Chain A
Amino acid sequence: GAVVSQHPSRVICKSGTSVKIECRSLDFQATTMFWYRQFPKQSLMLMATSNEGSKATYEQGVEKDKFLINHASLTLSTLTVTSAHPEDSSFYICSASRAGPGAQYFGPGTRLTVL
Chain B
Amino acid sequence: GENVEQHPSTLSVQEGDSAVIKCTYSDSASNYFPWYKQELGKRPQLIIDIRSNVGEKKDQRIAVTLNKTAKHFSLHITETQPEDSAVYFCAASLNQAGTALIFGKGTTLSVSS
Is A bound to B?
no
Which residues of A come within 8 Å of B, CB atoms? none
